[in-house]
Structure 1
Amino acid sequence: MASPWHSLVSQKIFLARTLLAQLDENDSVPTREALVQGAVELGLRARKLILVMVARMYQEKLAQPESLEALIELLGSDIPETTELTRLAGETNSWWNHLDQLERHQGNPPVARKTVSDENVIAVSADTGPDRSRQALEQTLTAIKHFTDTLEERHSEW
């Protein structure tokens, strides 16, 4: 039987995917942006809920860790879940890192762009921010789902 926390994480992922599925049906720029930002927020919420899920699996019934660091402080760094999450946080192309990038991007005002004229045209690389494409977001959501399903299977065997 799935834990209520696993079900809640799965729900957030399902809802995020539901929003992403609507991207193909909308040409309105504000609507598309709302769908992407909504899916990102649900992904971020799922990540926070994973931290609570792990704490509950280790019988921390009242803990609500807000960060990986708080979870490590609560449970230690020698359990498989904190070890795995720490590894994911350090990997450039992991779902955890992608969500970190999305959170920073979405939580800050847009970068002011310089105007281009004939006098100031210089070839430079512009920071375009994290990949917010439907495909990238779907990949991240799939990875989160796989992680939580594996976690639930591991702990439901006990």
Structure 2
Amino acid sequence: MASQWHSLVSQKLFLARTLLSQLENDSGPMKDRPATEAELAMGREAVIQGAIELLLRSRRLLLVMIARLYQKRSEEPATLDELAALIGEAPNDIARLRELESQPGSWWNHLDQMEASQSRPPVTRKSVSAENIIAVSADTGPDRSAQGLRRTLGAMKNFADDLEEQHSEW
């Protein structure tokens, strides 16, 4: 049963990878005329946001997969805290996820940042003029580059595959 969930997680990750590959083929929509800069920018943003949503869905499905590995057949935890409440803090899988959650550069942390970013309107930026130039570091948000998303995707895929392999050995 859990392997079906692993397949579903893998499918979502594959779809996200497929979307990200479209960023390299940035030729625009299939039309008789070349795409405008605005069309290319909108297409790129749609691909990035779509890939992020698939990664976020994959993470949620990963939590359900873990619940199934621990014989929790009807529960579908949406957060790590819900999963921990369901199966306890003792299992090694929870400890690994907790460590990833607290690690600044981890795939889990990257997904947390992207989820927060996607769930809020963009920050309004002040216009720069000669009178108001002050050197301040601006929050640029999470890494939404294709390379950054691929790195997170690969780390998630490795985690899910390792988890499936460990539990199928029993």
TM-score after normalising by structure 2: 0.91
**Number of aligned pairs?**
158
Residue of 141, 155, 158 corresponding to 2:153 = 141
Deviation at 1:127, TM superposition (A): 0.6
Residue of 61, 73, 85 corresponding to 1:61 = 73
Give the match for residue 55 of structure 2: 43
How far apart in 2 are the matches of 1:2 and 1:82? 17
Deviation at 1:124, TM superposition (A): 1.1
Deviations 1:107-140 (A, max 9, x none): 1000000011111111111110000111110000
Give the match for residue 9 of structure 1: 9
1:153 aligns with 2:159: no
TM-score after normalising by structure 1: 0.97
How far apart in 1 are the matches of 2:105 and 2:141? 14
How far apart in 2 are the matches of 1:2 and 1:87? 23
Give the match for residue 23 of structure 1: 23
Runs of 4+ in 1 over 4 A off after TM superposition: none
How far apart in 2 are the matches of 1:118 and 1:97? 38
Indicate if the aligned counterparts of 2:64 and 2:76 stay in contact, CA closer than 8 A.
Answer: yes
How far apart in 2 are the matches of 1:71 and 1:2? 15
How far apart in 1 are the matches of 2:161 and 2:88? 22
Deviation at 1:2, TM superposition (A): 7.4
Give the match for residue 117 of structure 1: 129
Q: Which one-letter code corresponds to 1:149 in the other structure?
A: D
Deviations 1:32-75 (A, max 9, x none): 00000000000000000010000000100001001000000000
Aligned CA-pair RMSD: 1.2
How far apart in 1 are the matches of 2:70 and 2:133? 57
Give the unaligned 5+ runs of structure 2.
29-39
1:126 aligns with 2:148: no
How far apart in 1 are the matches of 2:43 and 2:62? 29
Give the match for residue 52 of structure 1: 64
Q: Which one-letter code corresponds to 2:125 in the other structure?
A: R
Q: Which one-letter code corresponds to 2:45 in the other structure?
A: E
